[in-house]
Amino acid sequence: MIVKSSWALPRLTRLAIPAVLALVAVLLPFILPGDRWVRVAALALIYIALASGLNILVGLTGLLDLGFIAFFIVGAYTTAILTVQLFVNQLGFDPDTLWWLFPVSLVGALVLAGIAGCILGYPTLRARGDYLAIMTLAFGEIVRLVSINWIGLTGGSVGIRGIPPFAIGDLELTSPSANYYVVLAMVVVILVALAGVVASPVGRAWVAIREDELVASSMGIRTRRYKLLAYVCGASIAGVTGVFFAHMQQFINPDSFTLEDNFIVLSLVILGGAGTFWGPVVGATLWIFFQAIARDWTIVQEHPEFRTGFLALIVVVLMIVRPGGIVSRKLKLTRSGGDVERPEPRTAPAGLEPDPIEAGAPVLVVDTVGRTFGGLTALGSVSFEVRRGEILGLMGPNGAGKSTLLNVLSGVTKPSRGSITFRGDRIDGLDSDRVSVKGVARTFQTVRLFWQMTVLENLLVGAHERLRGWVPAFALRLPRHRHDEARALTEAGSVLEFAGVWDERTRRASALSYDSQRRVEIARALMTRPKLLLLDEPAAGMNESETKALASLITAIRDSGTDVVLIEHDMDLLMSVSDRIVVLDHGEVIATGTPDEVRRNPAVLEAYLGSDA
């Protein structure tokens, strides 16, 4: 099949904005009146880098960091201590000959800031968001206080002077314009790399975590790991920026990084637009230039506190009036818009080997599984099996334990006892992301899509396990990944066609009709290439004709080679599509059999209609 791509034209328009921005950035020193303004522009670049780094945490992943400057401090002091304290003061090198040390400092700062990011990020794996905010604030203070008080290493409040300027060989780059261009190069590299990472499985995983962490993990994303990764990436960017800042200033002291800088950088992200790509750039540029202009005003000279006060006021008003910030352009989480021609519908889970298990043999064996919450028994001792090639209906009155059972099967809650074996492997006790990788996918009782993403992006999250890779490879935009992504998009197209929602592929999930939302959710689950699909009341809220269409979709899923467990309150649907039915009541299995057998079973009638029936 020829993969027709729609890249050609959008690609031109997509590159237009960055190209114009780059041109302006390159010409800026010639346009600006005088060195003072070139210095302001260089400072703006520093803040652009910091804001973009923080945006990974706050904007993309939804983790608040109030001590972000700590990573910047780590970077700046790393190079200052290495260059001045160690090589100049201890080893007696001439500072003018140390230009070769700069890359070493960069790597050192990258590593140390990354480690700091790990230390700070680790508790996020479990801590609640607000505790975390407090902790980042405290961590930022610790780093700042140490930099002030560890005089032997950091020079205390005097700081470290005599940091050599940027240089290439003997050529020292000390003029404001030269500094500007060096920092510009850094910002361009950071932004290009960041854009690559954002439009990759990594970026999609971050946004998925922000949107709905539980669903993200049910798509096979190791959410803890990706949150930690967000910290490490943000911290590394801040650390590198710190190195450039130190060499640009040629000195650092604790006054270079006030406590308020944490807040300022955060505000710039919010001002420009958290979770957008250009938001931090716009926010930082506007604010730093505004601040430089305002410096000449007498009222600001008399009351320097007005600057942060004004910024704070903007943020407070913005959060009420326009929480999205200035830039409203949504992030593009993939570089391609998908195929333009209507694809063939998916016939079988693509890329699957012929199934070694023959039809009718058990694939999922649930053995005496129980789950209690405190003193409440949600599941007593449940045993049943799902066989290859069937749709297993799961019914029971409200409170029978159906949802708990589904959560236990998908790894959201752990069973208190019993075992679950899927195709020979125990899956009880696995986290939901591992269960997903084993080939068990699920949908949710109330539709849970990633509402800010397009339909295709939602589906690509489902393909996470096949697309994931190493962050630097995405930053470098290696062609291999681009290929994988194009293939996954083609697959997404055929899955959407299969589910009957191909026409919706470029729309935002939040803009879909209810019926389409349900179908997209099923399609997203199918993108994980499941061998078993758990559907939690998929027909809830649908009208009669939609339910009928859904029934044929569910049957088609079974026929394409994915076994189905269906929880449903709509008896007509359940009876018509299920091959066998398991009936739960009060956390126990009370009947198992074909729809006809179950319909006639007195225990079932009693559970549903009461003993008088």
Partner 1 sequence: MTQVLINGLAVGGIYGLLAVSFSVVYGVLGMVNFAFGEVFMFGAFGALVAAAANTQIAGADFAGPALPQWAAIGIGLVVGAIVGLLVERIAYKPLRNAPILSMLITAIAVSMLLRAVGTFLFGASQSPVPAPDLGEAFEVLGARIQPIDIVIFSVAIVATGAFWALVKFTPIGRAIRATAQDRDAARLMGIGVDKVISTTFVLGSVMAALAGILYSQKYGFAAAGMGFIPGLKALVAAVLGGIGSIPGAFVGGLVIGLTEELAAAYVPEGAAYRDVIAFGVLVLILWLRPQGILGRREVQKV
How far from 196 is each of 61, 321, 331, 481, 561, CA to CA, in Å? 16, 32, 12, 10, 35
Tokens of residue 570, six digits: 């709509």
Least spacing, CB of residue 117 vs partner 1, in Å = 14
Contact criterion met (CB below 8 Å) for 542 and 518: yes
Q: Residue 252's beta-bridge partner residues? A: 160
DSSP code, position 486: H
Nearer to partner 1, 39 or 307 (CB): 307
**What's the rounded Cα separation, in Å, for the pair 37 and 450?**
43
Tokens of residue 429, six digits: 């006790």
Binder among 412, 420, 475, 520 for partner 1 (CB under 8 A):
412
> What x-and-dash track marks residues 237-266 binding partner 1 by CB under 8 A?
----------------------xx--x--x
Query: What are the backbone angles phi and psi of residue 370, rounded to the nearest 5°?
Result: -135, 155
Nearer to partner 1, 144 or 335 (CB): 144
Residue in this structure with the two tokens 């949107």, named with its chain if needed: 211
> What x-and-dash track marks residues 352-391 binding partner 1 by CB under 8 A?
---------------------x------------------
Binder among 26, 27, 319, 352 for partner 1 (CB under 8 A):
319
> Under the criterion CB under 8 A, does residue 158 sit at the interface with partner 1?
no
> Under the criterion CB under 8 A, does residue 308 sit at the interface with partner 1?
yes
Residue 162: CB atoms within 10 Å? 12
Segment interacting with partner 1, rule: CB under 8 A, options 158-166, 302-310, 342-350, 485-493: 302-310
Binder among 20, 134, 348, 511 for partner 1 (CB under 8 A):
134
Segment interacting with partner 1, rule: CB under 8 A, options 177-185, 244-252, 307-315, 564-572: 307-315
Binder among 21, 22, 192, 315 for partner 1 (CB under 8 A):
315
**What's the rounded Cα separation, in Å, for the pair 249 and 262?**
19
**What's the rounded Cα separation, in Å, for the pair 468 and 201?**
6
SS (H, E, C) 368-403: EEEEEECCEEEEEEEEEEEECCCEEEEECCCCCCHH
Binder among 2, 9, 320, 613 for partner 1 (CB under 8 A):
320
Q: What angle do CA 271, 275, 281 make, to 5 degrees?
A: 50
**What's the rounded Cα separation, in Å, for the pair 232 and 11?**
30
> Under the criterion CB under 8 A, does residue 556 sit at the interface with partner 1?
no
**What's the rounded Cα separation, in Å, for the pair 465 and 528?**
8
> Under the criterion CB under 8 A, does residue 323 sit at the interface with partner 1?
yes
Nearer to partner 1, 31 or 127 (CB): 127
Binder among 70, 73, 238, 270 for partner 1 (CB under 8 A):
270
Beta pairing, strands 417-422 & 362-373: antiparallel
| Interface size with partner 1, residues (CB under 8 A) | 53
Nearer to partner 1, 431 or 546 (CB): 431
> Under the criterion CB under 8 A, does residue 173 sit at the interface with partner 1?
no
Beta pairing, strands 532-536 & 563-567: parallel
Tokens of residue 280, six digits: 């931090």
> Under the criterion CB under 8 A, does residue 300 sit at the interface with partner 1?
no
Least spacing, CB of residue 518 vs partner 1, in Å = 17
Name residues whose C-beta falls within 8 Å of residue 177's C-beta, 6 or more positions apart in sequence: 29, 35, 38
> What x-and-dash track marks residues 425-444 binding partner 1 by CB under 8 A?
-------------------x
Least spacing, CB of residue 274 vs partner 1, in Å = 8
Least spacing, CB of residue 138 vs partner 1, in Å = 4
Least spacing, CB of residue 314 vs partner 1, in Å = 8
Nearer to partner 1, 411 or 595 (CB): 411
Tokens of residue 84, six digits: 């001045």
Contact criterion met (CB below 8 Å) for 170 and 20: no
- Residue 272 carries which side chain, given as an amino acid letter? G
Beta pairing, strands 417-422 & 532-536: unpaired
Segment interacting with partner 1, rule: CB under 8 A, options 35-43, 46-54, 128-136, 328-336: 128-136
Nearer to partner 1, 407 or 578 (CB): 407
Nearer to partner 1, 336 or 432 (CB): 432
Binder among 20, 86, 168, 313 for partner 1 (CB under 8 A):
313
Least spacing, CB of residue 207 vs partner 1, in Å = 14
Of residues 63-102, those binding partner 1 (CB under 8 A): 64, 66
Q: Coil, helix or strand for 609?
A: helix
Query: What are the backbone angles phi and psi of residue 160, rounded to the nearest 5°?
Result: -120, 125
Contact criterion met (CB below 8 Å) for 1 and 332: no
Q: Coil, helix or strand for 579?
A: coil
Nearer to partner 1, 83 or 413 (CB): 413
Binder among 55, 147, 285, 403 for partner 1 (CB under 8 A):
403
With CA atoms as reference, report the closest residue to 218 among 454, 60, 443, 468: 443
Pure H helices in 92-175: 101-121, 129-149, 151-154
Least spacing, CB of residue 66 vs partner 1, in Å = 6
Least spacing, CB of residue 309 vs partner 1, in Å = 3
Of residues 210-229, those binding partner 1 (CB under 8 A): 214
Interface with partner 1 by CB under 8 A: which residues?
A: 58, 62, 64, 66, 122-123, 125-135, 137-139, 141-142, 145-146, 149, 214, 259-260, 263, 266-267, 270, 303-306, 308-313, 315-316, 319-320, 323, 373, 403, 407, 412, 444-445
